[in-house]
């Protein structure tokens, strides 16, 4: 069964520092992978997605992620953190629903990012 | 263009009661999925509706049921509420094109349910 693992629950960085959020996946078929962000008291916003095209995926707000099949990883990075990046970040893998409809998403437990001034 | 909307934003119920949550999909979308996000956890898939039918269900008991209307809006019903049902309930919409895995799900702001 497809799944994703986000080790740890909290990452703290200084403003201007590199952001690295780790995600490892398990999938028996070529995976479609996603990163979502959730700001306090809000729903989920898509940051970026990998759908088997380019392995380096660029998303919104300066984030990018690289799909590495050999490492079964899809880590999220941003070169320079801003205060506004403070939020919770979720990695997800999609499972195709065969009876019509769309994909369903299987999420990791999330990683809370704190950005210190 | 309105995105995914959900109502109500917050809800307080007591154990044993029943609750109905509502979702209107993004314009042009015909598929609605429901997720439960417990505090400190990632969202978990409850079920998905397409063409007014439940297409797939996650690991949730029959107390959780839903409906999709001809205008593609959807309701999530939870009967016999338990304390453990307290969570943020997220609705996501997409446009189903069978065999096409490129479609993105767009999430609403959620309904926060507290069961006392």
The verdict on a CB contact (< 8 Å) between B103 and A110 is no
CB B78, CB B22: distance < 8 Å: no
Interface residue B51 vs chain A (CB under 8 A)? yes
Interface residue B50 vs chain A (CB under 8 A)? yes
CB-based contacts of A105, cutoff 8 Å, min separation 6: A34, A92, A93, A94, A95, B33, B35, B43, B45, B92, B105
Nearest CA in chain B to A96: B101
CB-based contacts of A24, cutoff 8 Å, min separation 6: A4, A5, A7, A71, A72, A73, A74
The verdict on a CB contact (< 8 Å) between B109 and A36 is no
In this prediction, residue A53 carries a pLDDT of: 76
CB-based contacts of A4, cutoff 8 Å, min separation 6: A23, A24, A25, A26, A33, A74, A91, A92, A93, A106, A107, A108
Q: Which residue has the higher pLDDT, A103 or B42?
A: B42
Q: Which residue has the higher pLDDT, A60 or B1?
A: A60
Q: Which residue has the higher pLDDT, B10 or B103?
A: B10
> Residues B74-109: pLDDT tens digits?
999 999 999 999 999 999 998 866 556 667 889 999
- Which residues of B fall within a CB distance of 8 Å from A32? 101
The verdict on a CB contact (< 8 Å) between B101 and A96 is yes
Interface residue B3 vs chain A (CB under 8 A)? no
Instruction: Give the mutation candidate from A30, A33, A46, A103 for the B interface (greatest B CB count, under 10 A).
Output: A103
Nearest CA in chain A to B94: A102
In this prediction, residue A34 carries a pLDDT of: 94
Question: What is the residue-level pLDDT of chain A in tens, covering all 117 positions?
Answer: 788 999 889 999 999 999 999 999 998 777 889 999 999 888 899 999 998 778 899 999 999 999 999 999 999 999 999 999 999 999 999 876 655 556 789 999 999 999 999
Q: Partners of B84 in the beta sheet?
A: none
- Among residues B83, B42, B50, the alpha carbon closest in space to that of B67 is found at B50
Q: Which residue has the higher pLDDT, A103 or B38?
A: B38
Q: Which tokens go with B51?
A: 């063409």
CB-based contacts of A56, cutoff 8 Å, min separation 6: A64, A65, A66, A67
The verdict on a CB contact (< 8 Å) between A49 and B104 is yes
**Which residues numbered 77-106 in B keep a CB inside 8 Å of some CB on A?**
90, 92, 94-96, 98, 101-106
Tell me what percent of the residues of chain B surpass a pLDDT of 90: 78
In this prediction, residue B1 carries a pLDDT of: 63
Query: What's the whole-number mean pLDDT along residues B6-29?
Result: 96
Q: How far is B45 from chain A (nearest CA, A)?
A: 7
Three-state secondary structure string covering A39-96: CCCCCEEEEEEECCCCCEEECHHHCEEEEECCCCEEEEEECCCCHHHCEEEEEEEEEC
In this prediction, residue A106 carries a pLDDT of: 92
């Amino acid at each position: 069964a497809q799944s994703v693992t986000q080790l740890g629950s909290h990452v703290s960085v200084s403003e201007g520092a590199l952001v690295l959020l780790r995600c490892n996946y398990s999938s028996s078929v070529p995976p479609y992978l996603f990163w979502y962000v959730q700001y306090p008291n809000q729903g989920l916003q898509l940051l970026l997605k990998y759908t088997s095209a380019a392995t380096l995926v660029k998303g919104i707000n300066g984030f990018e992620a690289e799909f590495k099949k050999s490492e079964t990883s899809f880590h999220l990075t941003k070169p320079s953190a801003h205060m506004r990046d403070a939020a919770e970040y979720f990695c997800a893998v999609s499972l195709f629903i065969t009876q019509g409809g769309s994909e369903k998403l299987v999420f990791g437990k999330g990683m809370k990012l704190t950005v210190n001034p | 263009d309105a995105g995914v909307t959900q109502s109500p934003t917050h809800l307080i119920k007591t154990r044993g009661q029943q609750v109905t949550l509502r979702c209107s999909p993004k314009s042009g979308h015909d598929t609605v999925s429901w997720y439960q996000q417990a505090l400190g956890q990632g969202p978990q898939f409850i079920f998905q509706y397409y063409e007014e039918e439940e297409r797939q269900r996650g690991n949730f008991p029959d107390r959780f049921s839903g409906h999709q209307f001809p205008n593609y809006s959807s309701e999530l019903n939870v009967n016999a509420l338990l304390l453990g049902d307290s969570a943020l309930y997220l609705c996501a919409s997409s446009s189903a094109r069978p065999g096409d895995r490129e479609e993105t799900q767009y999430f609403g702001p959620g309904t926060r349910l507290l069961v006392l």
